[in-house]
A and B are shown apart, each in its own frame.
Chain A
Amino acid sequence: MHQSTLAQLSAALESKQISSEELTRLYLDRCKKFNESLNCFITINEDEALEKAKQADKQRAENKHTSLTGIPVAQKDIFCTNGIKTSCGSKMLDNFIAPYDATVIEKMNAAGFVTLGKTNMDEFAMGSTNETSFYGPVKNPWDSERVPGGSSGGSASAVAARLSPVATGTDTGGSIRQPASLCGITGLKPTYGRVSRYGMIAFASSLDQGGPMTQTAEDAALMMNVIAGFDERDSTSAEQPIDDYTEKLNDSIEGLKIGLPKEYFSEGLDSNIAKIIEDGIKELEKLGATCKEIELPNTELSIPAYYVVAPAECSSNLSRFDGVRFGYRCDEPKDLSDLYTRSRGEGFGKEVKRRIMIGAYVLSAGYYDAYYLQAQKIRRLIRDDFQNSFKDVDVIAGPTATGTAFKLNEMMDDPVSMYLSDIYTVSVNLAGLPALSMPAGFVNKLPVGMQLIGNYFEESKLLNIAHQFQQATDHHQQIPEGFE
């Protein structure tokens, strides 16, 4: 049962093959059993989950349910959950019990999902390996010596190990797609503004976007039907009506024009990865797609631009963590300045501090024009590059990450290498486009993801292509050894 997809679990619940309580207990047992080794949960909500599952069974009995009522889910610990610890992977919020639900959580609760727990993540979503978490690194179920990627590493690891059928993630520079790639699951970063950011603890407000992390594209579509949509509490959320994301899943992709950016297949890419992506593209061609090389000439500027914009916004977003109203407060502060410096000094980890300092620097008087404004200009160039491409092609395909999962500690002392590994993902956030990573094969028994980038609000198209790909391949059905 734990190998089932959302769609299959929905059918099993509907046919009364299993109750939500049984299902929830089954997953909770797996969570408890494997969390010791994987560390993918910060909090497991056993009691609340079982209570919710019982309610779900009651709702089903009374015919007051949705098709997803009673299905377990793992929530990234960046989403505020009413009455449940919401740590954002940081010591700073280790004592923080959110007094309200994020919009995404509210919508999932309303749809009847049962929250198993809150997943581990890089501290404040800053990191590509999940090693910056205050709660220790998450392990990749494909190889316990390796990281799951980040920042949504806990969610990726949990879904890959089938500790939860689906999970939520957030993506500021690749934090859904890269761990999805490294853990062999499907992850969708929607168009900026498609999923409400209300209650999602901000890292970089103009880049952050929540989305589904699932086994299949179909599951991602089902989750999108729940979480997408305008939210009046988020001024940057899009007022555009939402699709039924499952509607086009079975459409043929005959005649689809795929763009292959030559910059994504250049020397930086591991040849084994390149081979897998090329095979994946051949698979799409077999399904009727045609390919064309395109250029995204400003790709290499995306990393420096991203590492100006994201830290700038984070330096301001994280100012509210000052030890005054909530979160970590240092012991016996001498005075106000001591309260600030020690609370923040002791409450934040190294990577977070690094980014706050970079951000404060690029916004400071005398540097603002040279860094922040320049980065905003690059951002426009990158967006224009994509828009030009979409005149010729329907979708852009390429690798999600430069390699397979890193070894633990491999990146910790080399932040710049870690930053550079985001090269295929960050430009999508800078442009605000939707993009998806789907399992495309394995290198040395480690999963490799293929990224599909669509035009604004074309999530349905991405999910359609991925679903068609998954109908023809079985990479997404592979389960790591020991977790079958």
Chain B
Amino acid sequence: MEWETVIGLEIHAQLATKSKIFSGASTTYGSEPNTQACAVDLGLPGVLPVINKEVVSMAVKFGVAIGAIIPERSVFARKNYFYPDLPKGYQISQFEHPIVSRGNIEIELEDGTTKTVGVTRAHLEEDAGKSMHDGFGDNTGIDLNRAGTPLLEIVSEPDMRNAKEAVAYMKKIHSIVRYLEICDGNMQEGSFRCDANVSVRPKGQKEYGTRAELKNINSFRFVETAINIEVERQIDLIEEGGSVLQETRLYDANKNETRSMRSKEEANDYRYFPDPDLLPIDIEASFIEQIKSELPELPDAKKQRFINDFNLSEYDSGVLTAQKEMADYFETCVKAANGESKLSSNWITGELAASLNKANKDINDSPVSAEMLGGMVKRIKDDTISGKIAKQVFEAMWNAEGDADAIIESKGLKQVTDTGAIEKLVEDVIANSPDQVAQYQAAPEEKQGKLIGYFVGQIMKQSQGKANPKQVNELLKVKLKS
């Protein structure tokens, strides 16, 4: 039987506020346990939550960016359950009335087509603390630094049909929240993570199959593998005559498997009800307008502009605009390169991206600044150096040896464009290679192009790569004819 996969994602984006959602405590990551938990975060008797207004702006910003409906009123609700790292015995979240209602996300598929994925809702909530099982003997340690950190939970429609689409969707949301500067997107630190609802059904069937929820996946790669493993598990199960249970499962990246955490029967009844300690959030149309007017250029628009203004391919533009910092880098680089966009794009998506990747560095921490790279591209463009020499220059810049001009100067990498000098080199090579010359001259014209490579290679070697290859070629053709 042919199976169809149905996937919906719940993404938790930690909002990049300085203080927590309901208290003044700092949200800085990685501090000593319990040093960033105030009376409110500890859930001491008598304390009350007060909404951090920044959080509301950020959520609305997201809603506006995805063209979502922003309801006039949203309400905080209490989700009641007991857990040691949940200080109040309830999590303040939103239930019936989220701050962001229906919106849409466009994703690009591998075949180059686009697909719309619906966003059901996005709601605000507070994060819980952390339980620590190591170092406390038989006991569990509780760190409440994270308790009360603001989260935006973005819930998609079950619109995705394979793991790749899910990854594309997650990457798109990641890109948008970072463009909006409402989330740092740091997945190692858990600032951006997701739960995936996965089910399968026979192709053509309308009803959804029973879904399993894969919890807390914190990398794009894991999303893809976890979903694929889960889909395989479900299909195998059904084909062997079994049925999928509605349950929460955990993806174990080490063992590369998903395993059951709790079944539907064991699921909590969260006893949601509106939080009486907090007033409903009323959003005025003028506030939405203001947010709209302040919205930065978003990835889709930027991508289109790059295609139009810089004459880039759809693919290159997509790569360059996925991350705002990358797009900014590109624009700065082009400017420094006197408008040379194609070469800039090639260098950024090629050599620079590879080097960053290898060094496990972010574009923000690139040792080669956009201005420096642009300066180098300018020198390729004006024939000061060849593309091949540029690799040396780049490497030197990466190693902090200075900017392109300084390196070209100090290493003497300037291309030889003096016709006399090149002519001398050409003549020497021809004189020293009588066999190759004879072979070249005997060959039919269409084969000569290939044979000329030998002479070019020799000359470049002699000139340590500095001879202008174009000049060398032209001159060779003339000299070899006679």
Q: Which residues of A contact B (CB under 8 A)?
A: 79-80, 86, 88, 93, 96, 98-100, 102, 197-202, 204-206, 232-236, 312-313, 315-316, 318-322, 324-327, 336, 340, 360, 363-365, 368, 372
Contact = CB atoms under 8 A, between A and B. Distances in A.
B46 interface: yes
Given A319-B90, A324-B84, A93 B271 contact: no
B273 A372 contact: yes
A73 B89 CA distance: 34
B314 to A, nearest CB: 49
A318 B78 CA distance: 13
Interface string B14-46: 000000000000000000000000010011111
B455 to A, nearest CB: 80
Given A324-B142, A340-B82, A316 B273 contact: yes
A93 B44 CA distance: 11
A312 B271 CA distance: 9
Interface stretch (B276-284, B296-304, B371-379, B429-437): B276-284
Interface string B190-230: 00000000000000000000000000000000000000000
Given A93-B45, A198-B48, 15 more contacts: A86-B45, A99-B39, A199-B47, A233-B48, A234-B50, A312-B273, A313-B276, A316-B273, A325-B42, A326-B44, A363-B273, A364-B271, A368-B272, A368-B273, A372-B273
A236 B273 contact: no
Contacts of B51: 235
B271 A363 contact: yes
Contacts of A202: 45-46, 277
Does more than half of chain A's interface fall in helix, strand or loop, or is it mixed? loop
Contacts of A360: 271
B90 to A, nearest CB: 5
A262 to B, nearest CB: 32
B39 A320 contact: no
Counting contact residues on chain B (CB < 8 A from A), the size range is 20 to 34
A320 B273 contact: no
A372 B84 CA distance: 27
B88 interface: yes
B87 A325 contact: yes
A199 B277 contact: no
A193 B84 CA distance: 32
A199 B88 CA distance: 15
Contact of A319 (B44, B47, B88, B278): B88
Contacts of A336: 84
B49 interface: yes
B46 A199 contact: yes
B269 interface: yes
A229 to B, nearest CB: 15
A56 B271 CA distance: 49
B262 to A, nearest CB: 14
B48 A206 contact: no
Contacts of B89: 316, 318-320, 322
Contacts of B43: 320, 325
B50 A364 contact: no
B48 A197 contact: yes
A197 B272 CA distance: 23
A320 B271 contact: no
27 contacts: A86-B45, A88-B45, A98-B44, A98-B45, A98-B46, A99-B44, A197-B48, A198-B48, A199-B47, A200-B46, A205-B276, A235-B49, A235-B50, A236-B276, A236-B278, A316-B80, A316-B89, A319-B80, A320-B45, A320-B89, A324-B87, A325-B43, A325-B142, A326-B42, A326-B45, A363-B80, A368-B271
Nearest to B51: A235
Nearest to B268: A365
Contacts of B50: 232-235
Interface string B49-86: 11100000000000000000000000000101010100
A320 B41 CA distance: 11
Nearest to A237: B48
Nearest to A359: B271
Contact of A235 (B142, B273, B278): B278
A319 B82 contact: yes
Q: Which of B44, B45, B276 lies at the interface centre, i.e. has the most chain A CB atoms within 10 A of its CB?
A: B45
A205 B84 contact: no
Contacts of A98: 44-46
A322 B142 CA distance: 14
Contacts of A322: 82, 84, 89
B33 to A, nearest CB: 13
Nearest to B278: A235
Contacts of B271: 315-316, 360, 363-365, 368
